[in-house]
Amino acid sequence: MDFTVYVPHLPRPGETLSGEQFMVAPGGKAGNQAIAAARLGANVSLIACVGDDEFGPRLRASLETDRIDCAGVSVIPGCASGIAMVVVDPSGCNSIVTVEGSNGKLTPDLAARHLQACPTPRLILCELTMPMSTVERILAMANEASVPVLLNASPVRGVLPAHLLKLVEYLVVNEVEAAILSGQPLDSVEDAMSAAHALRAAGARNVLVTLGAKGAVTCFAGENEPRIEFLPAEPVVAIDSTGAGDTFAGAFATAIVAGASDTKAVKFAQSAAAICVTRTGAAPSIPYLWELPSACI
Protein backbone atom coordinates (compact mmCIF):
# COMPACT_ATOMS: atom_id res chain seq x y z
CA MET A 1 0.00 0.00 0.00
CA ASP A 2 1.39 3.40 -1.03
CA PHE A 3 1.31 6.40 1.32
CA THR A 4 2.06 9.37 -0.92
CA VAL A 5 2.72 12.98 0.08
CA TYR A 6 3.06 15.80 -2.46
CA VAL A 7 5.51 18.46 -1.30
CA PRO A 8 6.98 21.76 -2.63
CA HIS A 9 10.41 20.09 -2.86
CA LEU A 10 12.03 16.86 -1.72
CA PRO A 11 13.05 17.30 1.93
CA ARG A 12 16.66 17.83 2.90
CA PRO A 13 18.15 16.00 5.92
CA GLY A 14 16.65 17.41 9.11
CA GLU A 15 14.03 19.49 7.25
CA THR A 16 10.33 19.42 8.13
CA LEU A 17 7.96 20.22 5.26
CA SER A 18 4.25 20.91 5.00
CA GLY A 19 2.72 18.56 2.49
CA GLU A 20 0.22 19.80 -0.07
CA GLN A 21 -1.72 16.54 -0.60
CA PHE A 22 -1.83 13.07 0.93
CA MET A 23 -3.06 9.88 -0.72
CA VAL A 24 -3.31 6.22 0.26
CA ALA A 25 -3.66 3.87 -2.70
CA PRO A 26 -2.73 0.35 -3.79
CA GLY A 27 0.83 -0.01 -5.02
CA GLY A 28 3.71 -2.46 -4.80
CA LYS A 29 5.97 -3.33 -7.72
CA ALA A 30 4.41 -6.71 -8.49
CA GLY A 31 0.88 -5.38 -8.02
CA ASN A 32 1.52 -2.37 -10.26
CA GLN A 33 3.12 -4.49 -12.98
CA ALA A 34 0.29 -7.02 -12.85
CA ILE A 35 -2.30 -4.25 -13.10
CA ALA A 36 -0.46 -2.64 -16.02
CA ALA A 37 -0.36 -5.92 -17.93
CA ALA A 38 -4.01 -6.67 -17.19
CA ARG A 39 -5.29 -3.22 -18.15
CA LEU A 40 -3.34 -3.41 -21.40
CA GLY A 41 -4.86 -6.71 -22.46
CA ALA A 42 -2.90 -9.59 -20.89
CA ASN A 43 -4.30 -12.50 -18.90
CA VAL A 44 -2.45 -12.22 -15.59
CA SER A 45 -1.94 -14.47 -12.59
CA LEU A 46 -0.17 -12.97 -9.59
CA ILE A 47 1.94 -14.88 -7.07
CA ALA A 48 2.47 -12.75 -3.97
CA CYS A 49 1.77 -12.39 -0.26
CA VAL A 50 -0.34 -9.89 1.65
CA GLY A 51 -0.72 -9.47 5.39
CA ASP A 52 -3.77 -10.12 7.53
CA ASP A 53 -3.95 -6.40 8.38
CA GLU A 54 -6.48 -3.90 7.05
CA PHE A 55 -4.51 -3.41 3.82
CA GLY A 56 -4.44 -7.04 2.69
CA PRO A 57 -8.11 -7.23 1.60
CA ARG A 58 -7.89 -3.78 -0.05
CA LEU A 59 -4.86 -4.82 -2.08
CA ARG A 60 -6.46 -8.06 -3.19
CA ALA A 61 -9.74 -6.33 -4.08
CA SER A 62 -7.82 -3.82 -6.20
CA LEU A 63 -6.18 -6.64 -8.15
CA GLU A 64 -9.42 -8.53 -8.64
CA THR A 65 -11.10 -5.37 -9.94
CA ASP A 66 -8.66 -5.57 -12.86
CA ARG A 67 -9.54 -9.28 -13.39
CA ILE A 68 -6.17 -10.55 -12.14
CA ASP A 69 -6.14 -14.19 -11.01
CA CYS A 70 -5.31 -13.99 -7.30
CA ALA A 71 -5.33 -17.73 -6.54
CA GLY A 72 -1.58 -17.39 -5.95
CA VAL A 73 -1.92 -14.51 -3.48
CA SER A 74 -1.39 -15.85 0.04
CA VAL A 75 -2.47 -14.18 3.28
CA ILE A 76 0.26 -14.37 5.94
CA PRO A 77 -1.15 -14.58 9.50
CA GLY A 78 0.24 -12.10 12.00
CA CYS A 79 2.08 -10.14 9.32
CA ALA A 80 1.64 -6.62 7.98
CA SER A 81 1.30 -6.01 4.25
CA GLY A 82 4.18 -4.32 2.46
CA ILE A 83 4.02 -0.53 2.38
CA ALA A 84 5.79 2.32 0.62
CA MET A 85 6.27 5.89 1.82
CA VAL A 86 6.40 8.10 -1.27
CA VAL A 87 7.33 11.79 -1.44
CA VAL A 88 6.69 13.62 -4.73
CA ASP A 89 7.85 17.12 -5.76
CA PRO A 90 6.11 19.45 -8.26
CA SER A 91 8.19 18.15 -11.18
CA GLY A 92 6.97 14.61 -10.54
CA CYS A 93 10.26 13.33 -9.10
CA ASN A 94 9.92 11.07 -6.09
CA SER A 95 11.75 9.48 -3.20
CA ILE A 96 10.47 6.13 -1.92
CA VAL A 97 11.08 4.10 1.22
CA THR A 98 9.58 0.60 1.34
CA VAL A 99 8.95 -1.85 4.16
CA GLU A 100 8.73 -5.38 2.78
CA GLY A 101 6.25 -6.78 5.32
CA SER A 102 4.47 -9.81 3.85
CA ASN A 103 6.55 -9.63 0.66
CA GLY A 104 9.42 -11.16 2.60
CA LYS A 105 7.25 -14.20 3.37
CA LEU A 106 7.05 -15.38 -0.24
CA THR A 107 9.34 -18.37 0.26
CA PRO A 108 10.78 -20.47 -2.59
CA ASP A 109 8.50 -23.40 -1.75
CA LEU A 110 5.37 -21.24 -1.54
CA ALA A 111 6.11 -19.50 -4.83
CA ALA A 112 6.98 -22.80 -6.54
CA ARG A 113 3.76 -24.42 -5.33
CA HIS A 114 1.65 -21.59 -6.74
CA LEU A 115 3.59 -21.53 -10.02
CA GLN A 116 3.10 -25.27 -10.50
CA ALA A 117 -0.65 -24.80 -10.00
CA CYS A 118 -0.86 -22.16 -12.75
CA PRO A 119 -1.37 -22.91 -16.44
CA THR A 120 2.00 -22.72 -18.21
CA PRO A 121 2.62 -18.98 -18.72
CA ARG A 122 3.81 -17.33 -21.92
CA LEU A 123 6.14 -15.14 -19.85
CA ILE A 124 7.06 -14.66 -16.19
CA LEU A 125 7.56 -11.12 -14.91
CA CYS A 126 9.63 -11.04 -11.74
CA GLU A 127 11.05 -8.31 -9.50
CA LEU A 128 13.15 -8.15 -6.33
CA THR A 129 10.81 -7.25 -3.48
CA MET A 130 10.76 -10.95 -2.53
CA PRO A 131 13.66 -12.96 -1.05
CA MET A 132 16.49 -13.56 -3.51
CA SER A 133 16.24 -17.30 -2.88
CA THR A 134 12.67 -17.15 -4.20
CA VAL A 135 13.78 -15.24 -7.29
CA GLU A 136 16.41 -17.89 -7.98
CA ARG A 137 13.90 -20.72 -7.58
CA ILE A 138 11.38 -19.13 -9.94
CA LEU A 139 13.99 -18.38 -12.59
CA ALA A 140 15.29 -21.94 -12.40
CA MET A 141 11.77 -23.35 -12.80
CA ALA A 142 11.12 -21.03 -15.73
CA ASN A 143 14.33 -22.16 -17.40
CA GLU A 144 13.40 -25.83 -16.95
CA ALA A 145 10.00 -25.17 -18.53
CA SER A 146 11.45 -22.99 -21.34
CA VAL A 147 9.36 -20.01 -20.21
CA PRO A 148 11.02 -16.62 -20.84
CA VAL A 149 11.56 -14.33 -17.85
CA LEU A 150 11.45 -10.55 -17.66
CA LEU A 151 13.36 -9.51 -14.55
CA ASN A 152 12.81 -5.98 -13.31
CA ALA A 153 15.87 -5.79 -11.05
CA SER A 154 14.32 -3.45 -8.52
CA PRO A 155 14.81 -2.68 -5.73
CA VAL A 156 18.47 -3.23 -6.60
CA ARG A 157 20.48 -5.19 -4.03
CA GLY A 158 23.97 -5.08 -5.52
CA VAL A 159 25.46 -6.97 -8.43
CA LEU A 160 23.42 -9.96 -9.61
CA PRO A 161 25.32 -13.23 -10.02
CA ALA A 162 26.10 -14.33 -13.58
CA HIS A 163 24.27 -17.65 -13.17
CA LEU A 164 21.08 -15.72 -12.41
CA LEU A 165 21.44 -13.24 -15.28
CA LYS A 166 21.88 -16.13 -17.72
CA LEU A 167 18.31 -17.21 -16.92
CA VAL A 168 16.90 -13.78 -17.84
CA GLU A 169 15.46 -13.12 -21.29
CA TYR A 170 14.71 -9.42 -20.62
CA LEU A 171 16.46 -7.40 -17.92
CA VAL A 172 14.68 -4.09 -17.22
CA VAL A 173 16.41 -1.51 -15.00
CA ASN A 174 16.40 2.25 -14.52
CA GLU A 175 19.54 4.37 -14.71
CA VAL A 176 20.38 4.06 -11.00
CA GLU A 177 19.94 0.29 -11.04
CA ALA A 178 21.92 -0.03 -14.27
CA ALA A 179 24.83 1.89 -12.75
CA ILE A 180 24.88 -0.29 -9.63
CA LEU A 181 24.53 -3.59 -11.49
CA SER A 182 27.12 -2.74 -14.14
CA GLY A 183 29.53 -1.01 -11.75
CA GLN A 184 29.74 1.91 -14.19
CA PRO A 185 28.82 5.60 -13.78
CA LEU A 186 25.73 6.57 -15.71
CA ASP A 187 25.40 10.25 -16.59
CA SER A 188 24.48 10.18 -20.27
CA VAL A 189 22.79 8.14 -22.99
CA GLU A 190 26.23 6.91 -24.04
CA ASP A 191 26.86 5.70 -20.47
CA ALA A 192 23.51 3.89 -20.54
CA MET A 193 24.49 2.17 -23.78
CA SER A 194 27.77 1.06 -22.22
CA ALA A 195 25.98 -0.23 -19.10
CA ALA A 196 23.38 -2.08 -21.20
CA HIS A 197 26.13 -3.72 -23.24
CA ALA A 198 27.97 -4.71 -20.04
CA LEU A 199 24.84 -6.25 -18.48
CA ARG A 200 24.16 -8.22 -21.62
CA ALA A 201 27.75 -9.42 -21.65
CA ALA A 202 27.27 -10.44 -18.01
CA GLY A 203 24.52 -12.87 -18.99
CA ALA A 204 21.14 -11.25 -19.69
CA ARG A 205 19.99 -11.96 -23.25
CA ASN A 206 18.28 -8.56 -23.72
CA VAL A 207 18.70 -5.40 -21.62
CA LEU A 208 16.48 -2.32 -21.33
CA VAL A 209 17.66 0.74 -19.39
CA THR A 210 14.92 3.30 -18.75
CA LEU A 211 16.07 6.91 -18.48
CA GLY A 212 12.93 8.64 -17.25
CA ALA A 213 11.94 11.67 -19.32
CA LYS A 214 14.88 11.12 -21.67
CA GLY A 215 13.73 7.74 -22.97
CA ALA A 216 15.22 4.25 -22.95
CA VAL A 217 18.32 2.46 -24.17
CA THR A 218 17.92 -1.11 -25.42
CA CYS A 219 20.46 -3.81 -26.12
CA PHE A 220 18.71 -6.67 -27.89
CA ALA A 221 20.24 -9.90 -29.12
CA GLY A 222 20.95 -9.90 -32.85
CA GLU A 223 21.87 -12.59 -35.35
CA ASN A 224 25.57 -11.77 -35.18
CA GLU A 225 25.95 -9.02 -32.58
CA PRO A 226 23.69 -7.13 -30.16
CA ARG A 227 21.58 -4.21 -31.40
CA ILE A 228 21.97 -1.12 -29.23
CA GLU A 229 19.44 1.68 -29.68
CA PHE A 230 18.25 4.84 -27.94
CA LEU A 231 14.50 5.50 -28.07
CA PRO A 232 13.54 8.99 -26.84
CA ALA A 233 10.49 9.35 -24.61
CA GLU A 234 7.30 11.14 -25.56
CA PRO A 235 7.29 14.74 -24.23
CA VAL A 236 4.65 15.13 -21.51
CA VAL A 237 4.09 17.31 -18.46
CA ALA A 238 4.79 14.94 -15.56
CA ILE A 239 3.17 15.42 -12.17
CA ASP A 240 4.03 12.10 -10.50
CA SER A 241 6.51 9.49 -11.75
CA THR A 242 5.46 6.90 -9.15
CA GLY A 243 4.62 3.63 -10.90
CA ALA A 244 6.03 4.68 -14.28
CA GLY A 245 8.75 2.03 -14.24
CA ASP A 246 6.25 -0.64 -13.25
CA THR A 247 3.89 0.46 -16.00
CA PHE A 248 6.74 0.26 -18.50
CA ALA A 249 7.65 -3.28 -17.41
CA GLY A 250 4.05 -4.55 -17.45
CA ALA A 251 3.34 -2.92 -20.81
CA PHE A 252 6.53 -4.23 -22.42
CA ALA A 253 5.77 -7.75 -21.20
CA THR A 254 2.23 -7.53 -22.57
CA ALA A 255 3.41 -6.34 -25.98
CA ILE A 256 6.03 -9.10 -26.23
CA VAL A 257 3.46 -11.77 -25.39
CA ALA A 258 1.14 -10.23 -28.00
CA GLY A 259 3.83 -10.80 -30.63
CA ALA A 260 5.15 -7.26 -31.06
CA SER A 261 8.73 -6.71 -32.20
CA ASP A 262 11.24 -5.66 -29.56
CA THR A 263 11.27 -2.03 -30.68
CA LYS A 264 7.48 -1.78 -30.98
CA ALA A 265 7.14 -3.30 -27.51
CA VAL A 266 9.43 -0.61 -26.09
CA LYS A 267 7.45 2.16 -27.80
CA PHE A 268 4.21 0.68 -26.49
CA ALA A 269 5.67 0.62 -22.98
CA GLN A 270 6.86 4.21 -23.33
CA SER A 271 3.38 5.33 -24.40
CA ALA A 272 1.83 3.67 -21.36
CA ALA A 273 4.42 5.16 -18.98
CA ALA A 274 3.94 8.60 -20.54
CA ILE A 275 0.27 8.53 -19.56
CA CYS A 276 1.08 7.20 -16.09
CA VAL A 277 3.30 10.17 -15.14
CA THR A 278 0.56 12.68 -15.96
CA ARG A 279 -1.57 11.35 -13.09
CA THR A 280 -1.17 10.97 -9.35
CA GLY A 281 -0.52 7.72 -7.53
CA ALA A 282 0.85 4.39 -8.72
CA ALA A 283 -1.89 1.87 -9.50
CA PRO A 284 -4.55 4.59 -10.01
CA SER A 285 -2.42 6.23 -12.73
CA ILE A 286 -1.86 3.11 -14.87
CA PRO A 287 -3.66 3.46 -18.23
CA TYR A 288 -6.04 1.09 -20.00
CA LEU A 289 -5.45 -0.22 -23.51
CA TRP A 290 -8.13 2.02 -25.01
CA GLU A 291 -6.19 5.10 -23.85
CA LEU A 292 -3.13 4.24 -25.95
CA PRO A 293 -2.78 4.94 -29.68
CA SER A 294 -4.12 2.00 -31.66
CA ALA A 295 -0.90 1.79 -33.68
CA CYS A 296 1.30 1.22 -30.62
CA ILE A 297 1.64 -2.53 -31.21
Q: Quick: pLDDT tens for 188-225.
A: 999 999 999 999 999 999 999 999 999 999 999 988 88
pTM of the model: 0.94
The answer to whether 273 and 252 have CB atoms below 8 angstroms apart is no
191 vs 120: CA distance, rounded Å: 38
Q: What's the confidence (pLDDT) of residue 159?
A: 87
Q: Is the pLDDT of residue 295 over 60?
A: no
Q: Is the pLDDT of residue 19 over 80?
A: yes
Q: What's the confidence (pLDDT) of residue 281?
A: 87
Instruction: Please identify which of the residues 191, 240, 246, 262 carries the catalytic annotation.
Output: 246
User: Mean pLDDT for the chain?
Assistant: 94
198 vs 181: CA distance, rounded Å: 9
Would you call 98 helix, strand, or coil by DSSP? strand
Q: What's the confidence (pLDDT) of residue 127?
A: 95
96 vs 140: CA distance, rounded Å: 30
Per-residue model confidence as pLDDT tens digits over 38-64: 999 999 999 999 999 999 999 999 999
Catalytic-residue membership of 89: no
Q: What's the confidence (pLDDT) of residue 245?
A: 95
The answer to whether 67 and 34 have CB atoms below 8 angstroms apart is no
> Which is nearest to 101 in space by CA: 175, 1, 200, 196?
1
